[in-house]
Structure 1
Amino acid sequence: MKIKVVIFDADRTLWDHYNISEFEEPIKTIDKNEIEDSKGRKLKVFPEVRDTLEELKKRGIILGLATWNYPEKTQKILQILDLYKYFDIIISRDFPYKFIMINEIFNDLRNKGIKIRPEEAIFVDDRRSHFGNVWLYMGNIKCVEMWKDIKYHSEILHMLD
């Protein structure tokens, strides 16, 4: 089954910080992959993230983000890091239920006339604990644990067919 959608978690999946909802303004850019908030908290985008997102977009893959963070913080950080442009659908909620967020992504796509079956999606998260409910409520989505199942973001590209 051909993969049509890749859904990412954010914290500790796209970048090294565990909770961007903690970040306080002003936020300064250190370089294109690193930022620091007013309290000295730093965040660094993992290597290969940009290249992988860009390649997925070139291949026509729909990109989603499902993250347990305050929506305004997620949007702000993604814009500062210039990552916002890669994602077709961003679901950021102040609760941990990824299966609800992924369902929102599927519903959003359906409302746009794009029907996706669970086996046409990959969900990448750094916490395996989210996968059980994703499978229970969403079906046979391929769930990939970052840092365990794969060590580099580019490995996702080999899972597309």
Structure 2
Amino acid sequence: MIKLVIFDADKTLWDHYNISEFQDPLTLAGRDVVVDSKGRTLSLFPNVRKTLEELRRRGVRLAMATWNFPHKTDKVLKALELYDYFDLIVSRDYPYKFVMISEIIREFRKRNLNLKPEEILFVDDRRAHFGNVWIYVGKVNCLEMWKDISDHLEIISKV
């Protein structure tokens, strides 16, 4: 049974490939669209909110593991009003998702929630991250966004 879903951010939750390049100030151009001072935009993919809401309703913990500067991730999540959906956000300036996922597991242990790798679902748009997750973390369930599934609502059926 899946107790935790960990999401990547760029090209998984929204259409931009690297929010670390966004420059302040960020403005909201619609409920699901953020624009930076240089005119760069990101749009939340369809059904992300519905999926996060349903997973929370079912009692599934939510976390994020993203290769971005932490302050940029926080600003975008807060602008989109998504920040509070996540129990943990690990945003780092390096691409090692297995390190981030290990950090998430350790942090949940500190909160008295011991998660086995097979109780975790990791959703990322790049399959390249999965190998090291399996080697260093264990049998984490992994879904490649846009290859294994084509809509965020499909995540609900995997939980």
TM-score by length of 1: 0.98
Q: Which residue of 2 aligns with 1:114?
A: 113
Structure 1 CA distance for aligned equivalents of residues 121 and 34 of structure 2: 28
Runs of 4+ residues deviating >3 angstroms? none
Q: Give the match's secondary structure for 2:76.
A: helix
Report the CA distance between 1:27 and its aligned residue.
1.1
Q: Deviations over 1:128-157 (max 9, x none)?
A: 000000000000001100000000001011
Match of 1:134 in 2: 133
1:31 counterpart SS class: coil
Q: Map of 1:1-161 to 2, 5 A cutoff?
A: 2-160=1-159
Measured after TM superposition, the shift of residue 26 of structure 1 is 1.2
TM-superposed CA distance for 1:104, in Å, is 0.4
Between the aligned partners of 1:147 and 1:97, the Cα distance in structure 2 is 21
Measured after TM superposition, the shift of residue 55 of structure 1 is 0.3
Question: Equivalents in 2 of 1:66, 1:121: separation in Å?
Answer: 13
TM-score normalised by L of structure 2: 0.99
In 1: Cα distance, 2:125 partner to 2:157 partner: 19
The letter for the 2-side match of 1:153 is: H
Q: Residue 150 of structure 1 aligns to which amino acid in structure 2?
A: I
RMSD: 0.4
Instruction: Tell me the matched-pair count.
Output: 159
Q: 2-side partners of 1:121 and 1:73: how far apart?
A: 26
Per-residue CA deviation, residues 39-81 of structure 1 (Å, 9 max, x unaligned), is 1100000000000000000000000000000000000110000
Quick one: percent identity of the two aligned structures?
Answer: 58
Give the distance between the partners of 1:4 and 1:10, measured in 2 at CA: 19
SS in 2 for 1:151: coil
In structure 2, stretches of 5+ residues that fail to align are none
Q: Distance in 1 between matches of 2:58 and 2:90?
A: 22
Letter in 2 for 1:86: Y
Deviations 1:87-136 (A, max 9, x none): 00000000000000000000000000000000000000000000000000
| Separation (CA, whole Å) in 1 of partners of 2:112 and 2:34 | 37
Distance in 2 of aligned mates of 1:104 and 1:35: 29
SS of 2:53's equivalent in the other structure is helix
